[in-house]
Amino acid sequence: MKAAIVEGNGKVKLGGDIPVPEPGPYQCLCKMLACATCTGTDRKIIDSHIRLDYPAILGHESVGRVIKIGAKVRNIKEGEMFLRPTACYPGGKIGNYYSGWGGFAEFGLITDTKALLEDHPQEIPNHYTIYQQRIPQEISISPADATMLITLKEVSSFIANLKVTLNSSVAILGCGAVGISMCYFAKIFGAYPVIVIGRRDKPLENAKKAGADFTINNQKENMVSKVKEITADKGVNYIIDAAGDIDLITESEQFLSLNGKIAPYAVAGSSQYIFDRNKAPRLSEFIFTDPRENTAHQYILDAIRLNFVNPKLFYSHRMPLEKIEEGFELLRKKEALKIVFEMED
C-alpha cells in the first residue's frame, strides 16, 4: 500500500512498498478514507524534533471504514466509520517502517478493546486505542469533515479543563487551525472578549469568522497596549498559547489580569520555559492541562448533529494522498491552514 514516509530529515514522501496491515483476532482492518494534517506535531516528526524511530509512517488525524473483522471482534461491524485507524500502532513496526501514528496510509487497524479486556482482563491495550472512536451512522458527515473531529475534541476538552466560562476574557496566541479552534470554543463556552493575536492578516480573518471579538496583528501593532486598551487596562483572565513561541508567551504576561492564568498548549509542559515573574506579578498559575480528546467525543458528535459547529471552517485544502509532498510544502510556506488528504476519489 501507499503511505506518507518520513525519515527525520525535514522531508515527507509517498512510499509504495508498505505491507497492508493484517488484523489480529481483536482487530479490524479499515480502508482509510482521509487524514488531516496537524501542522505542529507533523512538522516536529518530519524535522526529528520528536523522538521516534525512522523511517516512520506519518499522520494521526485519520478516518477509516471497517472492511475486515478479526475472529474475536464482537463490538464492531463492517461498514462502520472510525477515527484514528493506524497503519502501525505506536511502538510497533510494519515491514521496514515504524509508527509516526500511521494515519497517512491506504489501510489501518482499529481494536475492539472491550472484547479484548472481557477475554483477557490483565491485558494492557496500546494506549492509542482510546482515541479510536466510532462515528455513528446517524451522524451525517463526510470523511474530510470527520477528520476535523479529532482537533475539535482535543481543543474543546482543553477549553473545558481551563474552566473558561461566561464572560471569561481570553487572549489566544496564534491563528492557525488550533488557534481558531480555541477561539471558536472559547466563544461557545461564553467567553468575552476573545482576542486572537497573530502575525498575518489572512489567518486573522479566519479567526474573525470563527468568532473572535478582536484580532491583533502583532507585526503591525503593540499587542500589550492594544489588549490593555480593549480590556480597559484590566488584562485578560486567560492567555492560551497556540503558537509555540516562548518569546511571545513571555511578552504576553504583561497583559494578564489579576489572578490570571497562562495555558501553554503548543509548548509542551516539559519544555524549558522560564517566565519573568516581574512582568506578570498578578499571575495566578500556569495550567499545563492534558487535553482529553476521547472524553469530548459525544460532545462533538452532538455539536455536529445540532449544527452548531461547521468542520469546514477549520481546514483550507483537500488533496489526494499522492500530493502529500506538495501539501506539506504549502504548509511550510504558510499557504494553507490545514489540509485533508483523501485516499478515495
Q: Which of 179, 237, 248 is nearest to 39 (CA)?
A: 179
Q: How far is CA 169 from the centre of its chain?
A: 23
What pLDDT is recorded for position 40? 87
Q: Is 111 left (phi over 0), alpha (psi -120 to 50) or beta?
A: beta
CATH 3.90.180.10 fits 3-137+315-342, yes or no: yes
Residue 258 in grid coordinates:
489579576
pLDDT, tens digit (0-9, with 9 covering 90-100), for 98-120: 999 999 999 999 999 999 999 99
Question: How close are the terminal C-alpha atoms of the chain, in Å?
Answer: 16
Let me know: does 173 contact 248? Beta carbons within 8 Å. yes
| AA identity, residue 172 | I
pLDDT, tens digit (0-9, with 9 covering 90-100), for 223-273: 999 999 999 999 999 999 999 888 898 899 899 998 889 998 876 544 445
Geometric angle at alpha carbon 223, from 337 and 279, rounded to 5°: 120
Q: State pTM to two decimals.
A: 0.93
CATH number for the domain running over 150-286: 3.40.50.720
Residues forming CATH 3.40.50.720 domain(s) in the chain:
150-286
**Summary mean pLDDT of the chain:** 93
Q: Which of 303, 298, 266, 262 is nearest to 162 (CA)?
A: 262
Query: Distance between CA 103 and CA 65 in Å, rounded?
Result: 13
Q: How far is CA 110 from the centre of its chain?
A: 19
Q: Which of 20, 28, 107 is nearest to 63 (CA)?
A: 107
Residues forming CATH 3.90.180.10 domain(s) in the chain:
3-137+315-342
pLDDT, tens digit (0-9, with 9 covering 90-100), for 19-53: 999 999 999 999 999 999 998 899 999 999 888 99
Instruction: Tell me the backbone φ, ψ of residue 45, rounded to 5 degrees.
Output: -70, -45
Grouping H, G, I as helix, E, B as strand and the rest as coil, residue 280 is: coil
